[in-house]
């Protein structure tokens, strides 16, 4: 009887919420649960010999936060900094990191059925950092695996040991 009831229950996919943002002319999204806060851009303190996409660090209520400009990281043209530039502060692997974006759009809810696998080519960055693609109101949204991107070796923001221990938890 219980088996029969389980079979009759429709399977519904649980939706996940994403924060959408813009980089150049493209729309992106990341897991809303990774977002600590959204703030205006303030000039960071530069770090010697840091790659160009790492703009420096800021002091955020006592936390030293590295600031990564995704526009530079993804080669999306000239990055300008003005009163409209936004920093999304993220909490990843027990660390706080800020990412610079052109603008924040909305919070959207997406089910697994709405996601399409990322292509192997034609995207401005390595597809291993993508969760997939979705279309909302006839606009393509690129879903970024922000955990994978920010903790990647090429970013150099995390010690390898930190990410491998956090992945096991």
pLDDT (0 to 100) of residue 126 = 62
- pLDDT given at position 158: 65
Using only the alpha carbons of the chain, give its radius of gyration.
18
In a domain? residue 168: no
Q: Where are the beta strands (DSSP E) in 102-159?
A: 103-110, 130-136, 139-144
CATH number for position 99: 2.40.50.180
Residues 6+ apart with CB under 8 A from 4: none
Q: Is 169 a member of any domain?
A: no
Task: Note the pLDDT tens digit of each residue in 104-148.
Answer: 999 999 998 888 987 765 545 567 788 899 998 899 999 999 998
Flag whether 5 is in a domain: no
- Asked if the model's pLDDT at residue 12 lies above 60, the reply is no
2 in any annotated domain: no
64 DSSP β-pair partners? 59
Tokens of 85: 């530039």
Residue numbers of the domain that contains 90: 15-152
Q: What are phi and psi of 39, to 5 degrees?
A: -145, 165
Does 1 fall in a domain?
no
Total number of domains constituting the chain: 1
Question: For the whole model, what pTM was predicted?
Answer: 0.80
Please give the residue that has the higher pLDDT: either 87 or 3: 87
């Amino acid at each position: 009887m219980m088996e029969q009831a389980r079979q009759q229950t429709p399977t519904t996919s649980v939706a996940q919420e994403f924060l959408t943002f813009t980089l150049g002319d493209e729309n992106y999204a990341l897991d809303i649960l990774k977002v600590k806060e959204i703030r205006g851009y303030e000039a960071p303190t530069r770090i010697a010999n840091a790659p160009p996409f790492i703009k420096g660090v800021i002091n955020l209520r006592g936390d030293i936060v590295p600031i990564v400009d995704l526009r530079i990281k993804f080669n999306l043209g000239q990055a300008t900094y003005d009163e409209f530039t936004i920093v999304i502060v993220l909490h990843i692997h027990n660390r706080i990191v800020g990412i610079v974006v052109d603008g924040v759009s909305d919070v959207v809810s997406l089910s697994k059925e709405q996601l399409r696998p990322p292509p192997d080519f034609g995207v401005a960055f390595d597809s291993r950092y993508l969760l997939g693609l979705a279309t909302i109101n006839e606009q393509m949204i690129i879903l970024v695996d922000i955990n994978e991107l920010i903790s990647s070796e090429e970013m150099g923001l995390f010690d390898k040991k930190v990410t491998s221990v956090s992945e096991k938890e």
